[in-house]
Amino acid sequence: MNIEAKLNAAMCWTVAVGVLAFAAADGAVSLMLLGVAGPLIAYVAGRPDPRRPGGGPWTLPRWLAGVLVFLAITSALLSATVMRDGTPLVSNLGAFLTYVQLIKLFDRRATRDEAQLLGLSVFTAIAAVLTSNSLAVGVLLAAYTPLAVTTAMRIEVASGRDLGAGVTVMAGRALWADLRRAVGASVVCACLLAAAVFVAAPRGVGNDWLGTFGAVPRAEVGFTDNIRLGQQGNLNERPTPVFEVTVTDGEGRNIGDPLRPMYFRGATRDTYDRRGIWLNSNEASRQSRELPEGGELLLDAPGPRPSLVMQTVQMRARIRGGDDYVFALWRPVAVRFQHPVQAAALRSDLTVKQAESGIRWSGRRTYTVVSALTDTDSDALEDGGRIGSEFATGPIADLARRVLAERLAPVAGAAGPADPLRGAEPRLAASVLRDFLRANYSYTLEMSLPREGQDPIEMFLFDTRRGHCEYFASALVAMCQSVGIPARIVAGYMATEFNALTGQYTVRESNAHAWAEVHVGPGRWLTMDPSPPADLERIHAPSRGLLARLKSWYDLIEFNWNEAVVTFDSASQSRLFRPYDERSGALQGAFERARKAVRRAGRNLGLISGDDAVSLAGRVAWWGAVSFVMLGIAYLARRRLLAPGRARRGGEMLDDEMRRLLAAARFYPRALRRLERAGLGKPRGRSGRAHAAALRRRHPEIAEPLATLAEIYEQVRFGRRALTQSDVATAAASLSRLEEALRARRRRRAERSARPA
């Protein structure tokens, strides 16, 4: 395989992987298909083919490539300005870069075009980084790196073709083997250096200084505390991971179990407004508190250690809307956040809401919840629950009483339906109602709209008799409240997917669930899930088998990717250097000193907020010093930048006299331009006279004036002779004859093409 073919293959691979990385980051399936099909066709078309005229690759006509690029630019501008459809700028830019790359793949004529294409591809890869930090993007970029390096090197090796047709190319014996070694060594060295920079770059400096510049739009998941019944459509079954949670006992032992689903409660709702919306009656009394990184929210005395359950939750995605809940198995007594947060606790239901802090945080969002297994008797912690009047009368209350009367009659004796709860515990009554729902109603994710004026819960109980978890939970809570039992809906997640490799539950968006809590005594709430267990298992149970096993491996890799790369932060840096601290205080000391110095500089410049920030005057002085240094660098860069330009303008191997002489011989480059435009351009390696001789057979009327012009030019160029008046006149006449001949040729061609076949 020759140099051209090797470069073509490398370029097509690079473009394909770059586009795929961006498409994977952006979730654009159409771009993904284009990213595969375009380079594949370009690879076939770009191979040197001796059957084609000139033996070169097939390329788009220049005008067509220009038109297509213009269309791509217009489309990108329109979608970014006029047709604002909410697509992020990076997505628009990435799509635009992809289109231009695919056009340029078919418009490669020189090394410069290849270099431009590689540049576009690199920008696409950067757009992928700005769009997503997912594992798939990471893997594709890891594949992209050596490909891009290979392509860059092959472009340089192939750059000899730019010297023209007559260039002499020398090559040693093992070009490609040596090039592979060079690529391998370069990639390994670059990756090691990049890893060093990645680890040592101070985190937290300059954070949020330029708004969202460079920020990745984080994945958002659909957990919502807004429980609204009576809506049409399917429930979300997306498998997007929301968080991973490790559950340990007070001694630190992992108590996760693949056969044991766990309910992670988030929000509670106890008030129904008859429009299908559940609300929290105590939401207004939620107390908000700003917690710094590592801050702890203490809700109660933790109690004896063996009775504690620790849940370490690592968020994988941001909750849509920015507000989030602390998810806990049981009521939390303490929560420790590893990220700055605005924590708002509600003591009535022991839920904690976490909102975005004033400090933007891009590291990992992890918190540890300590829950106490034993109930406390403290009424101060929570009230006795609310019994709303919404369901005191009506068909729901009638149904509840009827059910209780039927099922509790044997227990309560001959109490009759008028007072079904007399003599029965709330726990028992709630269980009866739960069992009634489980037995007589079926679970479905497809919902239809209630009739005009119909209550959604009544539609579920008396009409459709089918519904999802929110309907079951709403029905149970409504029935309990209708017979005087305090109850509330809990929205959260039901974790069923335990990964034995990581010892964690992976909680996905499809695990979102709603259930009920029933007040069964002072300070005691009982979790009751009225959804049919068989249906729940069918929906929430993780699949088993080869795919599931592969998926668990993927989850493991993804977890480590997130842990090691995506959420690497200053705490990770400290952890990483701690072992060296024990062995060598100097290294850690130096690193810490450097980190502190950078942070101090950041504070002095106002890039980081802190208590010890300097005054305005000090900040001005710091910025002045930085500006001075930057100006110095800019000055030096400018000198270096302009120096080669000056040298270039100095003219290659031409002294002043020769430049002056050649200035009078401008007719020659003009003639060459005319020929180039007419498709009769002179190859670089051929003299003007030789070109005239080559044209003589087919275009004698062009060759003759060209030979004259070339002769006069060469006398100036190589004979160092100034043009005489006669030379100038001859050159002018020859040039006009040449132009006339070219015009005539153009006319002939036009007439020929206009002639019907």
Partner 1 sequence: MPAVRTPLSRRPTRVRRRYHLRTPAYVYMLVTVLIAVGAFNSQNNLLFWAFGFALATLVVSGVLSGTMLMGLEVERRALGDTRAGHPLVLSYTVRNQNSLVPAFAMRIEEIEPARVWWRRAARVATPWTEHCDRPRVFVAHVGPGEAVSARVPVLAHRRGLVRFEGVRVISSFPFGLIRKTMEFPLAEEVVVTPRRAEPPARARDRLGRAGDAAIASRRQGPGDEFFSLREYVEGDSPRAIAWRASARRMETGASGTGLLVRQNASPAPARLWVVLRLNPGAAAAADDNERAIALATGLVEDAAEQGLSVGLAVPRAGVLLRPLAGRAAVLACARELGVLHLPDLRTSADDGRFPAAAAAPGALVVVVHAGPVDQTFGPGASGETVHVSSDEAAPTEGAPSAGGAA
Q: Give the footprint of partner 1 on residues 178-237 (CB under 8 A).
A: 178-179, 181-182, 185-186, 189-198, 201, 203-216
Q: Which of 60, 129, 381, 613 binds partner 1 (CB under 8 A)?
A: 129
Smallest gap from residue 172 Cβ to partner 1 (A): 4
- Subset of residues 303 to 332 that bind partner 1, contact rule: CB under 8 A: none
The half-sphere exposure of 355 on its side-chain side, counting CA atoms within 13 A, is: 10
In the region spanning residues 658 to 697, those forming contacts with partner 1, defined by CB under 8 A, are: 685, 687, 689
| Nearest distance in Å: CB 281, partner 1 | 40
Q: How far is the CB of 609 from partner 1 (least distance, A)?
A: 14
Tokens representing 349? Answer: 């239901």
How far, in Å, CA of 415 to CA of 447, rounded? 38
Yes or no: say if 506 and 242 are a contact pair by the CB < 8 Å rule. Answer: no
Residues between 89 and 128 with contacts to partner 1, criterion CB under 8 A: 115, 119, 123, 126
Distance CA 434, CA 405 (A): 14
Q: How many residues bind partner 1 (CB under 8 A)?
A: 91
138 binds partner 1 (CB under 8 A): yes
- For residue 240, the surrounding DSSP H or E stretch is none
Instruction: For residue 227, give both structure tokens.
Output: 């429980």
Nearer to partner 1, 44 or 163 (CB): 163
CA angle 503, 509, 511 (to 5 degrees): 65
Residue type for position 463: D
C-beta atoms surrounding 131 within 10 Å: 24
The answer to the question of residue 641 lying near partner 1 (CB under 8 A) is yes
| Contact between residue 270 and residue 388 where contact means Cβ atoms under 8 Å apart | yes
The answer to whether residue 714 forms part of the interface with partner 1 (CB under 8 A) is: yes
Q: Which is nearer to partner 1, 19 or 459 (CB)?
A: 19
With CB under 8 A as the contact rule, the residue among 376, 444, 464, 715 that binds partner 1 is 715
Q: What is the DSSP string of 351-387?
A: EEEEEE-SS---S--EEEEEEESSPP--TTT--S---
Closer by beta carbon to partner 1, 386 or else 686: 686
Nearer to partner 1, 211 or 252 (CB): 211
| 590 near partner 1, rule: CB under 8 A | no
Residue type, position 521, single letter:
G
CB of 159 to partner 1, least distance (A): 6
User: Which residues partner with 492 through β-bridges?
Assistant: 265, 513
293 Cα distance to chain centroid = 25
565 binds partner 1 (CB under 8 A): yes
Report DSSP state, residue 724.
P
- The answer to the question of residue 492 lying near partner 1 (CB under 8 A) is no
Q: How far is the CB of 730 from partner 1 (least distance, A)?
A: 14
Per-residue x/- marks for partner 1, 343-372, CB under 8 A?
Answer: -------------------xx---------
545, exposed or middle or buried, with CB in 10 Å at 0-12, 13-18, 19+? Answer: exposed
632 contributes a contact to partner 1 by CB under 8 A: no
Interacting span for partner 1 (CB under 8 A) from 146-154, 248-256, 328-336, 411-419: 146-154
733 touches partner 1 by CB under 8 A? no
Site for partner 1 (CB under 8 A): which residue of 50, 54, 172, 252?
172
Asked if 626 interacts with partner 1 (CB under 8 A), we say no
> In this complex, which beta carbon is closest to partner 1, that of residue 266 or of residue 688?
688
Residue 550 Cα distances to 276, 390, 506, 554, angstroms: 41, 50, 14, 6
Residue of 103, 146, 137, 130 lying closest to 14 (CA atoms): 146
Q: Is 574 in the site for partner 1 (CB under 8 A)?
A: no
Q: Residues 642 to 661: which contact partner 1 by CB under 8 A? A: 643-644, 652-655
Q: Which is nearer to partner 1, 78 or 557 (CB)?
A: 557
What distance in Å separates the CA atoms of residue 120 and residue 103, rounded to the nearest whole number? 11
Of the two residues 520 and 608, which places its CB atom closer to partner 1 in the complex? 608
Among 167, 392, 597, 625, binds partner 1 (CB under 8 A): 167
Is residue 175 at the binding interface for partner 1, with CB under 8 A as the rule? Answer: yes
252 binds partner 1 (CB under 8 A): no
**Cα–Cα distance for residue pair 225/319, rounded to 1 Å:** 11
Residue 21 near residue 128 (C-beta atoms within 8 A):
yes
Q: How far is the CB of 481 from partner 1 (least distance, A)?
A: 47
By beta-carbon proximity to partner 1, the closer residue of 142 and 501 is: 142
Least distance from partner 1 to the Cβ atom of residue 439, Å? 52
Of the two residues 137 and 678, which places its CB atom closer to partner 1 in the complex? 137
Strand pairing category for 466-467 and 442-443: parallel
CB 129 within 8 A of CB 552: no
Alpha-carbon distance of 15 to 151, in angstroms, equals 10
